[in-house]
Structure 1
C-alpha cells in the first residue's frame, strides 16, 4: 500500500512593481539603437562595422539595465529589489523604513540604504496629486471624505511612486505584525537574511564592448 502523497506546500506569489514608462522608453530606445547600429554593421565600410558592433555591445546592455531590468518584487516574507546592476533581497524583518523623497529608498536596520530604481519619483506628478487633493478638500468643506471615503479612493489620488511605497509599507507592516501568510520553515530559513547579487550578465558584455572600443580606437 502506497503512502498518501503529502499536500503541496502553498506558494506565496510576488507582487511586481515597475515603471511602465521606463519599459516603453527602453523598448523604443533599443529599437532605435539596433536599427542604427545594424545599419552601420551591414552597410558600413572598413572599420565601421566593428566599431558599430563594439558600440552595440556596450550600449545595449546599459540601456536594458537602466530601463527594462529595474523591478521590485515583494511578498509576505521579503522584498527583492532588482536595480540596474544589482539584485538586493531583504527580509521584511530587516527593513527599518521605506520612503519616497526625491527618490524611492529602502533603509535597513543596520543603516544600509538601497534605492528603488523601479519606483521613480515624479515631483510634477506629486504636485498635481496635491492640487487634486486640495480641490477635492475644498469641494467637501465638512470633511466628509476624511471619514467616509474609501482608502482605495484616497490612494488613487496619490502620485504613482507614493502609492507604490504605501503598498510596500503595508506589506512590511503585515509581515512585522504577523498578519500576513506564514510560509513553511524551509522557505522562511532561506529568506532569513539579506543578500546582494551583481548582474554580471549585463556588466560583462558592457565591459567587453568598452574594451573592444578602446582597442579599435587605439589601433585606428
Structure 2
C-alpha cells in the first residue's frame, strides 16, 4: 500500500464566534493563597506540637477556616460564553441564559439582574472606588492634554467601549489597557469587564441557544465542611 506524498490537512473545527471568557480577581486569589499558607502553618504546627485538646481544636479550626477562605478568595469566578452567564459565588453557582439577563449593574458592587427581578452579586468582580477615581483622573488629564478620542467621547454614556476584552483581570487599581490603547476613555478594570458582559448580552439575548431557565445550585462541598468544623469546634469548647 502506497502512501501519497502530499496529504491534505485535516479540517479544523470552526472557531466559535464568542469564545468562553473567565473573569477572576487576581488580588483575591493572591490573598487567599497567603491566608491558606498562614492558617495551614499555624494549624499544622498546633496539631503536631500541641498538647491536650489543642490538636483537636486546631483540626476543628482548620476544618472551619479552610473552606471559608477558599469560598471567599479562590472560588469566585464569572464564566461567560455565547449562550449563558455562569456565576460562581462563595456558596452558590448561578447559571443565567442571556435571554434571562435583564441588566448588569455597577454601583458599589457589580450585580446581574434576572428577568424575574432577582439580583445576584458578582463576587469575582469587586468594585474598587480607588481604581475608578484613578481612571477618572487619568482620563481628565488626557482630555486636558488634548489627546484625540479621550475624555469620554467614545464612551456610551460612561459605559465604555468594551475594547480589549480579556479572560481575567486584576483588582489592584489597574486601568483598562485595552480601552486606552484603542483611544477610548480610560476605565477601571472591573468596569471594563462589566462593559464587555453588557455587549455580549446585547449581542446574544435574542439567540435561540441563549434561552432557558435560571438555575441556582448551592455549594455543599464548601458549606458542608465549614458547618462540620463549626459544630466540632463548638462541641470542643463547650465540653472543655
For residues 34 and 48 of structure 2, what CA distance do their matches in structure 1 show? 21
C-alpha displacement of 1:160: 1.2
| TM-score, normalised with respect to structure 2 | 0.78
Q: 1:200 to 1:156 in 2, by over 3 A?
A: farther
C-alpha displacement of 1:193: 1.2
For residues 68 and 56 of structure 2, what CA distance do their matches in structure 1 show? 19
Which residue in the other structure is 2:229 paired with? 209
Do structure 1's residue 123 and structure 2's residue 124 form an aligned pair?
no
For residues 198 and 14 of structure 1, what CA distance do their matches in structure 2 show? 23
The structure carrying a bigger helix percent of its residues is 1
Q: Deviations over 1:27-75 (max 9, x none)?
A: 0110000000000000000000000000000000000000000000000
SS in 2 for 1:80: strand
C-alpha displacement of 1:13: 4.6
For residue 134 of structure 1, the aligned residue among 129, 140, 143 is 140
Do structure 1's residue 44 and structure 2's residue 50 form an aligned pair?
yes
| TM-score, normalised with respect to structure 1 | 0.85
Gaps of 5+ in 1: 1-6, 183-187
Q: Deviations over 1:161-213 (max 9, x none)?
A: 101100111110110255xxx7xxxxx38x62110000000100000001101
Q: 1:144 to 1:100 in 2, by over 3 A?
A: closer
Which residue in the other structure is 1:97 paired with? 103
Which residue in the other structure is 2:64 paired with? 58
For residues 157 and 52 of structure 1, what CA distance do their matches in structure 2 show? 48
Runs of 4+ in 1 over 6 A off after TM superposition: 7-12
Contact 1:106–1:114 under 8 Å retained in 2: yes
For residue 162 of structure 1, the aligned residue among 182, 191, 211 is 191
Do structure 1's residue 194 and structure 2's residue 175 form an aligned pair?
no
SS in 2 for 1:25: helix
Do structure 1's residue 74 and structure 2's residue 80 form an aligned pair?
yes
Contact 1:103–1:120 under 8 Å retained in 2: yes
For residues 201 and 173 of structure 1, what CA distance do their matches in structure 2 show? 34
For residues 17 and 31 of structure 1, what CA distance do their matches in structure 2 show? 24
SS in 1 for 2:93: strand
C-alpha RMSD of the superposition: 2.3
Contact 1:156–1:163 under 8 Å retained in 2: no
C-alpha displacement of 1:109: 1.2
Gaps of 5+ in 2: 1-11, 155-160, 164-178
